[in-house]
Amino acid sequence: MWRATWKGLVGHKLRLILTALAIVLGTGFVAGSYVFTDTLDGAFTDLFSSAFAGTDVIVRPEVDEDLTFVFGERMDAALAAEIEALDGVETAEGSVGGLLLLSIDGEPVSNSGPPILGSAWIESANPFEIREGREPRAPAELVIDKSSADRFGIAVGDTVQVTGLLAPTDMTVVGLVGLGSSDGFGGATALAFERSQAEELFDAAGQVDAINVVAEEGVTPAELIGRITPILPPKVEAIDSRTAIEEQLSGFKAALGFINTFLLVFGFVSLFVGSFIIQNTFRIIIAQRGRELAMLRAIGATRGQIMRMVLSEAMIVSLVASLFGVLTGIGLAYAIKAVFEAFGGSLPDSDLVVRPRTLLVALVAGFTVTVISAMLPAFAASRIPPVAAMRELASIPQKRSLRTRSIIGSAVTLIGLVLLWWGLTGETPESLSPAAVVGVGAGAIFVGVAILTPLMVKPVGRTIGRPLSASGTVGRLAVENAIRSPRRTAATSAAIMIGTALAGLALILGSSLSATTDSLIADRFRSDLIVQPAGFGGAELSPELATRLAELPEVEELVAIRRNAAKIGDDRIFLGSADLDALSRLVLIESVEGELGEVTDDQVAISQDTATEKGLAVGDDIEMTFARTGAQTFTVGAIFTQDGPGAEAYITSGAWEANFAERFDSSIFVKLAPSVDLETGRQALTAITESYPGADVLDQNQFAEEAKKQINQFVGLVFALLGLTLLIGFFGILNTLLLSIIERTREIGLLRAVGTTRSQLSNMVTWEAVIVAVFGSVLGIILGIFFGWALISALQRDSELVLAIPAGPLALSVVVAAVAGVIAAVYPAWRASRLNVLAAIAYE
């Protein structure tokens, strides 16, 4: 039987190669996901290890672990000298740093996410290595990481503008630096300045954010911490560099975990789609080998041997294809990185990391999906009776009732609908994640609909093919061929169905978010113009800008908003600060309890959703935790109807100054004087913001468009990843058509013998592919609309989302599927038209 298995593989190379492509693509995405995130993990580990290389102990403000990326209270620079005087300390040097804006010739440099970080150049345990030029030795000099310099076209000797808390300053680039073996800083831009310049940029004269301590030879970090700790002021701690590295990595690893999950979802969706193609291919091959398998039964092969032979073929194909999938995954890791960077990301360069776990997961996933997909065809093969070897038409599959399929499909779909409803209502137990329940429910609906799809093939297929049927005999033959085997058509179209369903869901979600953005900005914003950092990136605005804008006669009123992280109880929130009275006038935030304009420095205004979640009312005391000052008690002074711009709660500007070290503005909302038109006001504001490169002046429509760019980038990223799923569907159509032509060789020969031309035969096969592709895409779009409606309806309970169904793009998805069907049919149609008539008639 092993020889028969091998002969079966060798004898059906083309068919099994096409099957293997589905496995290669699915396992390739799984492997690529792991390679990509493992590579990033290794890159960031090397990055932070290099950043703390040479440093034994770091002295820093104590900060809550959930607020590690928020600045704590700065320390007196004199503390470094006290530490350096201790026994066992070789050097102790303070550092100061923060976020900045960078521009070249007045044009802002935007990383579209990763921040621009600046710091003082330190002499001892300096993490930077000079690649070109020298270190900064005087004010108005800086060095920049070489990766960013190459990306932005900056060279040694160039002049750039740097904006900190004050007005922009012209500076000269005197050096390009790297961090260990890397030329970059993990996608961020790193700048370093002479100390006095850094203190001016960050308003930190005589202060430091951290102190890097190097131990004398023979002194361990633990011993050094023991000597340093007694002289530290309250809320300051000393930790070893290894702890600092692990803390920095923990945040990035959490983000990498999300990315890995996000990519693996697409990988397993691809395998799920591929399972339909695999099962379909094996079912067709088994049908075509009916007489061969029956002959084996006639000469003594048992049912178990036949089943094991078919499953062995599947196992061999899966293992070989999964190995190729791992190799494909390495290439896909580069492609995934390119996709992320194309849609606004910036990632570090590093060597690829392929861990044994990646190989194991890809092999197990490919093996499991393939074997499970081949089990039903293998079982069917084992039931072929020996007497079938004497039948000329043994290879033609017998029609079977769809009653059992309809019962099972209906039950699975019903279970999926119940799970989906259960998860979306949020009534699941605490031990169950609503998102997980929704995911299982959606998967069950996909499976249920896929099981029921053969029941829809004939009525829907005839409806889709009605224009073809009316066009003549070739069109009628194409329609009948497409629907003659409902199970085969359903399995072939399943890949297209799932891909277009997910694409439809993404389109509806993106359109709904865009419509919600338009609605909220139109209804909520009473300001005429908004000043914000370019590109919604990681930059912020100098507070000096708002002061200068407020002095313009064209400006009636403005409000500058700051945002950062804090905690209410154990929950991390985004907290905002502004002149709350002005905020309530320029942004539609209405008080439910209390008055926003009357909130004092010891009070907080909280959104209605947050207040409901935490059971708070006006007058209640709550504990808020800040990175700079730790736990502080505030009284709820007001509750407002909806979240403000990017914040769940607001405190006054005075409370912000007392509890945050950060003083940058996130955005400025401006109301023009009654006599000033929009264009005149824009010109007046632009005359000021031109001196602050990186600040954009937008009206409400432009602000909405900028916000929607981020949504479109997300939808574009999802579409790029869904492309692989649709590619599998493309190969599914190609595979099925080729196998169908082999199965219908005699039929095609007879058609040619009675006068059908090559072009007519080619058109017939092409139209078959179009019907299958359109059938799958129509079902997918219907599912996508349903899932989109369910998701938006669930989210509307806690937000103001507007449901928007983009009819044009959804219709275009059907057209794209039809075009894909035409392309997939090119080779099968050509092959069918080139069959030798006499050889085809004499087939078998």
Q: Do 84 and 227 have their domain in common?
A: yes
Q: Are 733 and 824 in contact (CB under 8 A)?
A: yes
Q: How confident is the model at residue 787, as a pLDDT?
A: 84
Residue 427 in domain: no
Domain boundary among 240, 273, 292: 240
Give CA separation, 282 vs 9, 332, 637, 739, in Å.
12, 27, 69, 10
Q: How confident is the model at residue 250, as a pLDDT?
A: 75
Of 817, 558, 550, 567, which Cα lies nearest the Cα of 688?
A: 550
Q: Do 117 and 228 have their domain in common?
A: yes
Q: Do 321 and 343 have their domain in common?
A: yes
Of 374, 388, 375, 377, which Cα lies nearest the Cα of 290?
A: 388
Whether 671 has a pLDDT exceeding 50, the answer reads: yes
Tokens of residue 285, six digits: 């091959």
Of 536, 538, 541, which Cα lies nearest the Cα of 559?
A: 541
Residue 683 burial by CB count (10 A; 0-12/13-18/19+): exposed, middle or buried?
exposed
Residue 534 in domain: no
Convert the pLDDT of each residue in 208-246 to its tens digit: 999 999 999 889 999 999 999 999 998 899 999 888 888
Q: How confident is the model at residue 397, as a pLDDT?
A: 47
Residue whose structure tokens are 């109301």: 671
Of 119, 144, 131, 123, which Cα lies nearest the Cα of 55?
A: 123
Tokens of residue 240, six digits: 């070893």
Q: Do 37 and 107 have their domain in common?
A: no
Q: How far is CA 764 from the centre of its chain?
A: 41
Q: How confident is the model at residue 395, as a pLDDT?
A: 45
Residue type, 27: T
Q: How confident is the model at residue 136, as a pLDDT?
A: 95
pLDDT band at 645 (very low <50, low <70, confident <90, very high): low
Q: Are 126 and 179 in contact (CB under 8 A)?
A: no
Q: Are 285 and 739 in contact (CB under 8 A)?
A: yes
Q: Which residues contact 226 (CB under 8 A, 6 or more apart)?
A: none
d(CA 661, CA 562): 12
Mapped onto helix, strand or coil, the DSSP state of residue 247 is helix
Higher pLDDT among residues 254 and 80, named by residue: 80
Q: What is the mean pLDDT of residues 405-414?
A: 88
List the Cα angle 696/698/700 in 5-degree steps. Answer: 155
List the Cα angle 417/418/421 in 5-degree steps. Answer: 85
pLDDT band at 1 (very low <50, low <70, confident <90, very high): low
Convert the pLDDT of each residue in 40-86 to its tens digit: 777 777 777 777 878 889 999 887 777 767 778 889 999 999 999 99
Domain boundary among 631, 665, 691: 691
Higher pLDDT among residues 243 and 7, named by residue: 243
Tokens of residue 61, six digits: 């403000």
Q: Which segment of 160-164, 295-299, 681-685, 802-806 scores lowest on mean pLDDT? A: 295-299
Residue 720 in domain: yes
Q: What is the mean pLDDT of residues 809-813?
A: 85
Q: Do 233 and 337 have their domain in common?
A: no
Convert the pLDDT of each residue in 390-403 to its tens digit: 554 444 444 556 77
Tokens of residue 370, six digits: 């393939």
Convert the pLDDT of each residue in 88-136 to its tens digit: 999 999 989 888 888 888 777 764 556 788 899 988 878 888 999 999 9
Q: How confident is the model at residue 495, as a pLDDT?
A: 72
Q: What is the mean pLDDT of residues 806-832?
A: 83
Q: Do 836 and 757 have their domain in common?
A: yes
Q: Do 658 and 785 have their domain in common?
A: no
Higher pLDDT among residues 296 and 592, named by residue: 592
- Strand ranges (DSSP E) for 524-616? 529-533, 555-568, 571-577, 591-594, 603-607
Largest CA distance in the chain: 103
Residue 409 in domain: no
Q: Do 121 and 219 have their domain in common?
A: yes
How many separate helices (H) and strands (E) can be counted in the chain?
25, 25
Convert the pLDDT of each residue in 503-553 to its tens digit: 888 888 888 888 887 777 776 777 889 998 875 555 678 888 999 999 999
Q: Looking at residue 120, what DSSP letter applies? A: E
Q: Which segment of 183-187, 201-205, 570-574, 690-694 scores lowest on mean pLDDT? A: 183-187
Tokens of residue 286, six digits: 């088994």
d(CA 285, CA 12): 8
Q: Looking at residue 97, what DSSP letter applies? A: E
Rg (CA), the chain: 33
Q: Are 783 and 504 in contact (CB under 8 A)?
A: yes
Q: Which residues contact 296 (CB under 8 A, 6 or more apart)?
A: 4, 305, 306
What is the per-residue DSSP string for 263-330? HHHHHHHHHHHHHHHHHHHHHHHHHHTHHHHHHHHHTT--HHHHHHHHHHHHHHHHHHHHHHHHHHHH
d(CA 206, CA 481): 83
Of 431, 289, 153, 354, which Cα lies nearest the Cα of 743?
A: 289
d(CA 510, CA 517): 11
Q: Are 554 and 682 in contact (CB under 8 A)?
A: no
3-state class percentages of the chain: helix first, strand second, coil last, to nearest 5: 60, 20, 25
User: For strand 621-626 and strand 169-179, is the pairing parallel, antiparallel, or unpaired?
Assistant: unpaired
Residue 437 in domain: no
Residue 210 in domain: yes
Whether 838 has a pLDDT exceeding 60, the answer reads: yes
Whether 844 has a pLDDT exceeding 60, the answer reads: no
Whether 734 has a pLDDT exceeding 60, the answer reads: yes
Convert the pLDDT of each residue in 330-367 to its tens digit: 887 877 777 666 655 556 666 778 888 888 888 888 88
Q: Is 135 left (phi over 0), alpha (psi -120 to 50) or beta?
A: beta
Tally of domains in the chain:
4
d(CA 105, CA 552): 26
Q: Do 513 and 486 have their domain in common?
A: yes
Q: Do 355 and 206 have their domain in common?
A: no
Give the residue numbers spanning the domain of 292: 1-54+241-397
Q: How far is CA 400 from the centre of its chain?
A: 43
Domain boundary among 353, 374, 397: 397
User: For strand 555-568 and strand 571-577, is the pairing parallel, antiparallel, or unpaired?
Assistant: antiparallel
Q: Are 96 and 202 in contact (CB under 8 A)?
A: yes
Residue 410 burial by CB count (10 A; 0-12/13-18/19+): exposed, middle or buried?
middle
Q: Are 837 and 753 in contact (CB under 8 A)?
A: yes
Q: How confident is the model at residue 570, as a pLDDT?
A: 83
Name the average pLDDT for the chain: 81
Residue whose structure tokens are 């672990």: 65
Q: How confident is the model at residue 388, as a pLDDT?
A: 58
* Alpha helices, DSSP H, located in 343-402: 356-382
d(CA 643, CA 105): 38
Mapped onto helix, strand or coil, the DSSP state of residue 619 is coil
User: For strand 571-577 and strand 649-651, is the pairing parallel, antiparallel, or unpaired?
Assistant: parallel
Q: Do 212 and 164 have their domain in common?
A: yes
Residue type, 399: K
Q: Do 722 and 775 have their domain in common?
A: yes
Q: Which residues contact 50 (CB under 8 A, 6 or more apart)?
A: 127, 179, 180, 181, 182
pTM assigned to the model? 0.71
Residue 257 in domain: yes
Residue 415 in domain: no
Convert the pLDDT of each residue in 750-774 to its tens digit: 887 888 888 888 888 888 888 888 8
